Structure formats: structure tokens, C-alpha cells
Amino acid sequence: MSDTAVAPTPAPTPAAGSSTGSAPAPKSNQVLRDIAGGSVVISILAVVLALIVGGILIALTDENVQAASGYFFSRPGDTINAIWVSVSGAYGALFQGSVYNFGALDFAKGIKPLTDTLTFATPLIVAGLGVGLAFRAGMFNIGGQGQMLIAAAAAGWVGYSFPLPYGLHLVLAVLAGIAGGAIWGGIVGLLKARTGAHEVIVTIMLNYVAVYLVSYMLRTPGLLQAPGSNNPKTPAMLPTAVYPDLLGPGYNLHAGLLVSIAATVFVWWLLSRSSLGFKFRAVGINPNAARVAGIDVKRSYVTVMLLSGGLIGLAGVAQVLGTVTTGFSSGIDAGIGFDAITVALLGRSKPWGIFVAGILFGAFKAGGFSMQAGQGIPVDIVLVVQSLIVLFIAAPPLVRAVFRLPTPGVAVKKKPVALSKAVAAK
Amino acid sequence: MSSPITGSGNLGVEVVDPGAVSSATQHEHPDSSKGLEKTIVKSWKAPIGYAVFALIALLLFVILGRDGLSTFTLSGDNDLIQLPDVVVVARPTGLIVTVLLVVIAIVGFLLVRVNRRVPLWLTAVLGVLFLFGFLAWADAGASLPIQVAGLLVGSVSLSVPLIFGALGGVISERVGVVNVAIEGQLLAGAFMAAVVTSVTGLPVLGLITAAIAGALVSFVLAAFAIKYLVDQVIVGVVLNVLVIGLTNFLFSQVLSKNAEILNSPVRFDRINIPLLSEIPLIGPTLFRQTIIVYLMYIAVAVVFFALFHTKWGLRVRAVGEHPQAADTVGINVNGTRFWNVMLAGAITGLGGAYFTLGSVGAFNKEMTAGAGYIALAAVIFGQWDPIRATLAALLFGFATNLQSSLGIIGSPVPSEFMLMLPYVLTIFAVAGLVGRSRGPAASGKPYIKS
């Protein structure tokens, strides 16, 4: 699609009739719409496919499998058995570490993995919402890491600095975190709106700036470093600023989950019930049309990045005030900023989809650690599976080809697209 | 293509054309419409940037000036030609540098006033002057001299993967595919080079495998971006995560268990080029390097020449700028993209090999540490030109190395801020303070043939 292709498209639109038809809009939007337009089946199959590939990797690198494969042709059963043991052991540990531990004595203990999953999911959901919201407005926010770090620094500073009454302190700390993330994200929106700087580059660069800024503050007494300590680490949060435990001290689950649920409802409301969200979606689908319709596209870029940064900021807050309340160091973002991209893609940039995707990836995180502890399989396999899921989901034709699926519905849908593209590429 | 639709299409052109086209370019290359304005409105960005540097100089070198002597050591102990150390008095040096910077800023303002463009060399002079003043200021009164040769050697060493990555990025983006997967290609190259060299004991074989590994990552990028039309940035980011996950997994699961067999690569030896390696400063910096670095010089020159002076280069640029036009004259757009993205991956993979065969040695988890993203920044900073991207990569390597050098002499500036510098510079560059950056027009857009 080149620039000249833009002009003739309005002509075939009445014939094509679908919003997908008039699509010389920016490629990212088109692709995101393609992602959103796929079916739930593809998502599930993508997860299955990714797990299969992960299983192959686990089997290939397993020592018992390698040993047994040495005499594969004399006793193939041994190899198959070893593969079964290694893969089922890995995924069994993944399941028991993320949903229900069958080895536990009672239900209260057995269900703990599920609460861990939800704890891991808490920041993933809000950060995914932030990335997804930016997606819907056609912006690609890879700056989750930086936004989380700045938010964590802001929330953490409020959280340990002044003694304040219960409730007020928590609210203030959370607001500080949101503001920190929103500022770091807002810079990107502002630069994009004012100078046209590509948000991908700016967010990547701001990630590094934030990492170095926060690590400087962490090792400088008087800024974020705990007094009397030489470690680059902050003091512990005051108890007044910490998210309360939801299920008592035996579990890690904290009230950040409620914030994540509230944020999901908010983003759902924003995108599907508010005029601001309508503007975002219009800008995301086709900024040119949005401009013609009288929407201030540049202002939308700034606003959506502020909101996106604020939401991702909530993830930093959840880390600092919920998961790690004993003071944090520069690794507090724990890669969530990047995981959020995959969460948003898996959730098809829809609030409830992101919610489910966040819980799934939370389960991968929780289970990955117990898999590493129990089966000795490096937690990094989870990264592989996650990225494969996103790759497969982004390319539905590939998944369909692998599973020999027909393309129901899509074939009907695709025709007008092809027609208009043919016209557009004229 | 059929004529009735063409007719209605033309009708559409007349009605919608002005708004649609201008806003379309506005979105796809947001600064291009600003560029149109800039041809009318004078750009004060460069002189303002100069003034900012002059102000910083005034603040640091004069107001916060430091007393004492600064020493610059130019020669190593075993150099054939020995140059004497240069010793300057910090405070007057700072004053002179500041005055010169102010003069340059004023010249910049005057040039823009009379509607002349500010030449690039002025910026270069400003940069060198500022750097000299900064080093003199930082080293004032310090017991250790600034090892200029060491500073430069380290910069080149840190820049090598960046330059290979930037070259890969330039080719890939010139042909119309955004290559965010540079990080993944570097890491894959580093990993495969380490494994193959350890097993075979032949670093040359490792180097070749590294190129293949980079090309394989590119293959996935190309397949998803060109065949399945997935957003190229998304594929790139996800591929980086995938390669990090894969190499981390294999490192923990396989490499670390058999480190002496699988992860102890033989490194390339340094080759001193006769005569050239004895030139003061330049010799140790450029001509006492490993084969990978010499390969890099060749790669930069070849890519530059080929991109701008051969049929291949013309085709690559045509496909990246205007795929439809290229298609019309019979160039296979997607084929060209596919093979050149693979080529870009192979070049980047060579850069990855430098980590394990040149500088560091054994492979380690995420040993590229974001070099791919910096290479991407160098591509944009260098405005999609192989030579400029190389210079940008050298600048980033220099900034990173400066931080460690200043750490040794005890810099007054916190090292984090030095490390931040390349990224902040890139943001400025992207935001257009340094100059308008405009990429290949069709970069990032899949081509769907009608």
C-alpha cells in the first residue's frame, strides 16, 4: 500500500461495505484489526501449538530422552516413554504451580498456586490494558518498562517517605504512581503529536533512560536509597501505603487485583461507552478519516499515551505496593512491560480479552517458577511459549494451515478486502 | 486494474485527493508534512541546539569550572612512534572552548537568519570541541591521564556489533521491512558462533554459522511480515523475546551443563596490519583488530557502494520507497524484500559473532544487552544511510565507553547519565532537533500485489 493507493479507495467502499474494506489506513491498524477479527478458536489453537513446540524443545533437551534415543531403533518405547515423562512432568508442574497443587494436604494449601497466578496476573492485566488501549488508538507502546519504573519510583517514594493515615496514604501513593507512568507515557504522545517522532523508538529509548535514571536515584542517598544502606534499594513501604491482603497473610494475593478489575471495567467503559474512547478507536482505525470527522488526532495521541502510561503505571504500583513491599531495586519491572505487549496481543486489545490473557500469562509465570524448581526446566521456556503464542495468533493463516482448518466465515469476509485491495493497488 | 473501476477511482481522486493524501503522508511519515512547512519556515532547531550546548559548556566549564591540569595520553607503551602527552590547564581551556561554542552558536543563528542551511561539519566541530572541553573538565586535577588511544579502541570494540546491526537495519529498512529483530539476530549469531566454534574449534566456521543464524531469524521475520502480513514491529519485538527465551533456555539446559564442550569458543586473534598499525592513535584503534572488524570495514564500504551505485541497490531502494513503481517495471517486490531481509539478518549475525568470537568469549544469557535496540537507534540517527549509521553507531559506542573510562578516572558526572546519553540523543534525533529523519517511504508496509 503506498500513498497513491489512498485516493481511489473511497470509491469501492460502498460496494465493499465493510469497515475492513476501506483500509489503506496505517498498516499497524490494519494488522491489529486482523488480530481482533480472528476467532477465539485460533487463540486456543495458537496456545496449543505453542505448547507443543515448547514440549518438543523440552523433550529434545532432556537428558533421559537423549540417552534413550541412542538406542531408539532397538527399543523405541524407551524414547517415547522418556519424552512422555519429561514433557508431562514439565507441563504437570506448570499446571500444579499455577492452578491447583494436588500434592497439598488440604484445599486451602492446594489452591495457593491459583492465588499466586492471580498475583502475577495483577500487574500483567493493567499493563496489558495500557498497551492495548494504545493499540486501539494506533499507537505501539513498548515503553512499559520505563513507565513502570518511573511509576514504581513515584509510588514507592510516597509509600515510604511520609507517615499518613491508612487509606489516604495508599490512595496518594497509587495516584503518584499513575502520575509517574502517565508523565513517562505522555512524553511519547507529546513528541509524536508535536514532532512526529515514531513512538516505538521513543518508548524504547525512554525505557533505557528510565532504567538509568532510577538506578541512579536508587544508589544516591537522599533520593531513593534506603538510609544507612549501601545497596541500590529503597526502604520498605510503610504499612499504611501497602495494598491490603485479600485472603489473609497466608497468601500473596493483594488488593491490587481489585484495582486491575476496576481498571478493566474502566477501559471497557472508556472504549465502548465514552466519546473519548470512540475518538481513540476512530483514530486507531483511520486517523485520516478521524481528522476529516473533526477529531483532534494529535490531542488523541497525547491523551491516549497519558492514559496508557497511567495504566502501566498501575502495574508498577502493584509491584511496589503489593508484591514486593520490602523495598525495591531497579529490576522491579520484572519484564512485565514487555510481557504486557504479548498480553495485549493475545487479548486482542479488548479489555476482557486482556483480562483473560493476563491471567493466562500470570499462570505461565507462577507455573514456570515451580516448573524450574520441581523439574529443573529453565523458566525461560515460558518466554518461548509466550512469544510463540503471539506469533501464531498474529498469523491466523499459519495456524489454520497447521491444523488443516477450513477458513469458515473468513472466506466470505476476505473477498471484499481482496477486491478493495485490488482496486486500491491499481 | 480493470478500467471501469479506474474511472470511479479517478473520480474519487478528485474529490478526496488533497485531504486524503496529505493526511496520509502525515500519518505514515508524520514529519514529512512538517518538512514541507520547513521549506518555508526557517528551522531554528540547529542553532537552538548549539546554544543549548554552549549554555551547558558555560555552566560546566566556566561557572562550575574545576582547577588543575588535565593530561591526555596519546601513545601506548609499545607503540613504535611515541607522541608526548598533552597537558592542558583545565579552567582556561574550558573558557576557550566555551567561547568557541558560543561563536559557533552565533554563526548558526546568523546562517539561519540569512536562510542558509547549517552545515553538518559545524555540528561535528561543535561536538569535538564540546567533548574536548568536557574531558579536560572531567580530568582536571585527576591523578590518572585520559588514555585517548584506549578510549578509541574501546569505542570501536563496543561499536562493532552496533555497526553490523545498523548495516542490517539499513538494508532491511531500505527494502521496506522494519527490522526491530536486530537484537534477536545478534543474540542468535552470538549463540551459534559460540556453540559451533566450541565444538569444531574453528572460529571461521562459527562466523559462518552466526550469519546463517541471523539469516534464520530474518527468515521468520520475512515470512511473517511478507507472507502473513503481520505488523513488522510486532514480529520484531516478539522475535527478540523468542530468541532471548530460546537462547536462555538452551544456555541453562544444555550449554551450562557442558560448558567446556559447548561454550568455550576459540577467539579470533588480533591481526596487526603492517605499517598502518603503527600510525599513532589511528593504528591501535583501527588496524590492530580481529578479522571480524576488518570484515566490518569491508561490509560498510560494500553496503554503501552497492546500495547507491549498483543495480541491486537501486532495486532495493525502489522497493522500499515505492513498491508499486518497482513492481510496474518488473521487479519482484516481495522476492526482493525476502532475500534482502535474509541478507540483512546474515550481516547482523556476523555482528553477533563478535560478542563470542571477538570481545567477550563464552556465551552468556542476554549478552547483547540491548545492543540491537541501540543499532536500531543508530539506523534512525544515521538517517538510513550506511555511512551515517556507522558513524552514529560509533558515537553510541564512544558514549558507552566514555562512561567506563570516566569511571576509572573518577568522573564528576554520575555514570548513569553518561549511559543515558545515547538514548537521549536518539530521542532528540527522532524528535527532529538534530535534523529531519525520514525513512524509506514504504518501510513497514506490506506490499499486496493486485
338-367 of B, contacting A, C-beta below 8 A: none
Q: Which of A209, A291, A395 sits opposite B23 (nearest CB)?
A: A291
CA of B28 vs chain A CAs: smallest distance (Å):
7
3-class DSSP state for residue B88? strand
Residues with Cβ < 8 Å from A121, sequence gap 6 or more?
Answer: A257, A260, A358, A359, A361, A362, A363
The answer to whether the CB atoms of B20 and A216 lie below 8 A apart is no
Dist. CA B259–CA B254, nearest whole Å: 8
Would the CB atoms of B242 and A387 count as touching at under 8 Å? Answer: yes
Are residues A216 and B417, on separate chains, in Cβ contact within 8 Å? Answer: yes
Shared domain for B52 and B100, answered yes or no, is yes
A145 near A337, Cβ under 8 Å? yes
Determine the distance from the C-alpha atom of residue B433 to the mean position of all C-alpha atoms in its chain, rounded to a whole number: 18
A25 class by beta-carbon count within 10 Å (0-12 exposed, 13-18 middle, 19+ buried): buried
Q: If you average pLDDT over residues A310-320, what whole number do you get?
A: 94
Name which of A314, A365, A362 is nearest A144 in CA terms: A314
Note whether B58 and B194 are same-domain residues.
no
**Which residues in chain B have Cβ-Cβ distances shorter than 8 Å to A6?**
20-21, 24
Q: Which residues touch B7 (CB under 8 Å, ≥6 apart)?
A: none
Confidence (pLDDT) at B433 = 55
Helix or strand or coil: residue B147? strand
B413 touches chain A (CB under 8 A): no
* Model-level ipTM above the cut of 0.90: no
Cα separation, B319 vs B440, whole angstroms: 9
Q: Is the pLDDT of residue A10 over 50?
A: no
Q: Once rounded to an integer, what is the mean pLDDT over residues A221-230?
A: 81
- Domain of residue B103 covers 45-143
Instruction: Summarize the confidence of residues A162-175 as an average pLDDT.
Output: 90
Residue A14's pLDDT band, with cuts at 50, 70 and 90, is very low
Residue of A nearest to B241 (CA): A387
What residues of chain A, 286 to 315, have a C-beta less than 8 Å from chain B? Answer: 287-288, 291-292
CB pairs under 8 A between A and B: 231
Please tell me which of the candidates A142, A209, A287 has its beta carbon nearest to residue B420.
Answer: A209
Grid cell digits, residue B288: 590492530
Q: A285 CB near a chain B CB, below 8 Å?
A: no
B438, pLDDT greater than 80: no
Over the stretch A82-140, which tens digit does the pLDDT of each residue have? 888 888 888 888 888 888 888 888 888 888 889 999 999 999 999 999 999 999 998 88
> How far apart are the CA of A370 and the nearest CA of chain B, in angstroms?
15
Q: Between A180 and B409, name the one with better pLDDT.
A: A180
Contact A197 B248 (CB under 8 A): no
Binding-face residues of A in 385-404 toward B, CB within 8 A: 386-388, 390-391, 394-395, 397-398
Structural domain includes residue B40: no
Q: Name residue, grid cell 510516597.
A: A158
Q: Which amino acid is at B131?
A: L
| Phi, psi (degrees; rounded to nearest 5) at B72 | -115, 115
B3 has pLDDT over 90: no
* Helix, strand, coil percent content, chain B, rounded in steps of 5: 70, 5, 25
Task: Report the gap between the CA of A188 and the closest CA in chain B (Å).
Answer: 10
C-alpha dihedral sign at B223, B224, B229, B234? negative
Residue to mutate among A27, A140, A292, with most B CBs inside 10 A, is A27
What CATH code is carried by the domain that includes residue B278?
1.10.3470
**CA dist A358 to A82, A350, B58, B224, Å?**
33, 12, 51, 25
Q: Which residue has the higher pLDDT, B264 or A157?
A: A157
Q: Which of B99, B121, B143 is the last residue of a domain?
A: B143
Work out how many domains chain B is built from and give that number: 2
B-proximal residues of A, 103-142, CB under 8 Å: 140, 142
Measured between CA atoms, how close is A207 to chain B, in angstroms? 9
CA nearest to B327 within chain A: A425
Q: Buried b vs exposed e over B254-286: b needs ≥16 C-beta within 10 Å?
A: bbbeeeeebbebebbeeeeeeeebbbbbebbbb
Concatenate the DSSP letters of all residues of B102-146 into one string.
Answer: HHHHHHHHHHHHTTPPPPHHHHHHHHHHHHHHHHHHHHTT-SSPE
Q: Do the chains contact at A197 and B19, CB–CB below 8 Å?
A: no
Q: Which of B20, B31, B450 sits opposite A6 (nearest CB)?
A: B20
Grid coordinates given for A293:
470527522
Taking the CA of residue B287 and the nearest CA in chain A, the distance in Å comes to 33
Question: Would you call B202 an interface residue with chain A, using a CB distance cutoff of 8 Å?
Answer: no
The one-character DSSP state at B70 is: E
Same domain, B167 and B64: no
Higher pLDDT, B117 or A48: A48
Measure the CA–CA gap between A218 and A230, rounded to whole angstroms: 10
Angle between helices B148-174 and B182-200 (to 10 degrees): 110
Query: Does A213 sit within 8 Å of B430, measured CB to CB?
Result: no
**Interchain contact A422–B (C-beta under 8 A):** yes
- Given a contact cutoff of 8 angstroms between Cβ atoms, the answer to whether B69 and B86 are in contact is no
Per-residue pLDDT at B65: 76
Which of chain A's residues have a Cβ under 8 Å away from the Cβ of B238? 341-342, 345, 387, 390-391, 394
A315 near A130, Cβ under 8 Å? yes
Rounded CA-CA distance A99/A116 in Å is 9
* pLDDT per residue as tens digits for the range B94-118: 888 889 989 988 988 888 888 777 7
Task: Indicate the burial class of A408 (C-beta count within 10 angstroms; 0-12, 13-18, 19 or more).
Answer: exposed
Determine the distance in angstroms separating the CA of A164 from the nearest CA of chain B, rounded to an integer.
Answer: 33
Of A341, A301, A310, A307, which is closest to residue A196 (Cα–Cα)? A301
Q: CA dist B112 to A186, A269, B119, B278, Å? A: 31, 50, 11, 43
Residue type present at position A390: V
Same domain, B182 and B207: yes
Q: What is the pLDDT of residues B301-351, one digit of tens each?
A: 999 999 999 999 999 999 999 988 999 999 999 999 999 999 999 999 999
Query: What residue type is B240 in one-letter code?
Result: N
Q: What is the nearest CA distance from A158 to chain B, expressed in angstroms?
A: 23
Residues 55 through 84 of chain A touching chain B, CB cutoff 8 Å: 57, 61
B241 and B120, same domain (yes or no): no
Which chain A residues in 20-49 lie under 8 Å from chain B, judged by CB atoms?
24, 26-28, 31-32, 34
Residue B430 lies in a domain: no
Lowest mean pLDDT among A63-67, B142-146, B183-187: B142-146
Over residues B241-272, the pLDDT tens digits come to 899 999 999 998 888 888 888 888 888 888 88
Candidates A7, A31, A384; nearest CB to B230: A31
E strands in B22-179: 69-73, 86-89, 146-147
Question: Is A192 within 8 Å of chain B by CB?
Answer: yes
Strand intervals (E) in B273-355? 288-289
Q: Are B212 and B379 in contact (CB under 8 A)?
A: no
Cell of A40: 477465539
DSSP string computed for A269-299: HHHHHSHHHHHHHHHHH-HHHHHHTT--HHH
What's the pLDDT tens digit per position in A377-420? 888 888 898 889 888 888 888 888 887 776 654 444 444 444 44
| Nearest-by-CA chain A residue for B326 | A2
Per-residue pLDDT band for B215 (boundaries 50, 70, 90) equals very high
> What's the CA dihedral at A167, A169, A171, A174 to 10 degrees?
-140
Residue A17's pLDDT band (cuts 50, 70, 90): very low
- Residue ranges in B201-270 assigned as alpha helix (H): 203-222, 232-250, 259-262
Asked if B403 and B358 sit in the same domain, the reply is: yes
Rounded CA-CA distance B16/B23 in Å is 11
Residues B200, B73 share a domain:
no
Vertex B277: Cα angle to B271 and B280 (nearest 5): 150
Stronger pLDDT, B296 or A375, i.e. the higher one: B296
Q: Name chain B contacts of A24, Cβ cutoff 8 Å.
A: 24
Probe site for chain B from A13, A187, A212 (most B CB atoms < 10 A): A212
- For residue B390, being part of any structural domain is answered with yes
Comparing C-alpha atoms, which of B45, B31, B119, B46 is closest to residue B439? B31
Kindly state whether B23 is in contact with chain A, defined as any CB-CB distance less than 8 angstroms: yes
| Chain centroid offset of residue B140 CA | 31
Closest residue in chain A to residue B4, using alpha carbons only? A423
CA distance A20 to A5: 15
Total Cβ atoms within 10 A of residue B299: 20
Provide the sign of the torsion angle of the four alpha carbons A32, A37, A40, A43, taken in this order.
Answer: negative
- Residue A169: HSE in the Cβ half-sphere, 13 Å Cα cutoff: 20
SS3 assignment, position B431: helix
Question: Which of A140-154, B82-96, B353-367 is predicted with the least confidence, judged by mean pLDDT?
Answer: B82-96
